Amino acid sequence: MNINISFGNKLKTERLKLKLSQEKLALKAGVDRTYVNDIEKGSRNVSLVIAEKLAIALKIHISTLLKDLK
């Protein structure tokens, strides 16, 4: 599986655990909603800066998003 798709799936799983919409996550992370959608679809390369912003918005450590990616 592509690493972008794996990361997107992990992000979506963590977002849904908190019952957050893509829009609410994007707002908390300071990114556009369409960017979150593209990440979850696996069509975006995510920088570490953005990954950290998303992790903070989800109240998890960045390693949670990066763990076991294939």
The predicted structure's pLDDT at residue 38: 98
Distances (CA, A) of 46 to 9, 17, 36, 55: 13, 21, 10, 12
Contact 35, 45 (CB under 8 A): no
Q: Is the pLDDT of residue 69 over 90?
A: no
The predicted structure's pLDDT at residue 70: 74
Q: What is the DSSP letter of 46?
A: P
pLDDT in tens, 16-31: 999 999 999 999 999 9
pTM over 0.85: yes
Domain that holds residue 34: 3-64
Q: Which two tokens stand for residue 8?
A: 């997107």
Q: What is the mean pLDDT of residues 38-58?
A: 97
Total domains in the chain come to 1
Task: State the CATH number of the domain containing residue 50.
Answer: 1.10.260.40
Cα 64 to its chain centre, rounded Å, is 10
Q: Could you tell me if residue 51 is inside a domain?
A: yes
